[in-house]
Amino acid sequence: MKGQEPRSSSSCAACKFLKRRCTPNCQFAPYFRADELKKFAKVHKVFGASNVSKILNEVPEEQREDTVNSLVYEADVRLRDPVYGCIGAIASLQRKMVELQHDLLVARAHLAHYAARNTLFMDDQLSTAGFAELQVCNGLFENLNQNSLDQSGSFIEFSQVPFP
């Protein structure tokens, strides 16, 4: 776990920012390394060091790193969008998801349309291919191709085929 890693002798970012001496049991040290001063500055500006400390005390130790990452993200978004913060980002992502779902639906409809059209075209090609074998005698067909008949044995007319 990150909290049990050995630390260097330098102060953590929180203690540097707050200009205090970093103790070996500093609560912020495992989550704000010495080179992450801006990361702590953002969190401190939005939430305050005291509130972050209280939040970390309330969270189980195995969830603290995720909590700090969440606080850092929330602080960053709140500084970029002071009015809506994370809610604005979530709403934007939800709008984008709805747009993409709509685009997917349209693409699937187009695909189904072209697949149906292609199937009709292929069926037409198969039924006309059999007519090459027909022999015409005095304008009458001597041999009927079974591909041009429906299940009841009558001719399929093109006017009966539904086109999209």
Model confidence over 64-106: pLDDT tens digits?
A: 999 999 999 999 999 999 999 889 889 999 999 999 999 999 9
28's tokens: 């912020």
pLDDT band at 148 (very low <50, low <70, confident <90, very high): very low
pLDDT of residue 123: 64
Q: What is the mean pLDDT of residues 5-34?
A: 84
pLDDT of residue 43: 95
User: Can you tell me whether residue 59 is helix, strand or coil?
Assistant: coil
User: Contacts from 149-156 at CB under 8 Å and sequence distance 24+?
Assistant: 156/127
Are 67 and 59 in contact by the 8 Å Cβ rule? The answer is yes
Model confidence over 42-70: pLDDT tens digits?
A: 999 999 999 999 999 999 999 999 999 99
pLDDT > 70 in the chain, percent: 68
Between 6 and 38, where is the model more confident?
Answer: 38
Instruction: Name the residue among 58, 65, 4, 6 with its Cα closest to residue 32.
Output: 65
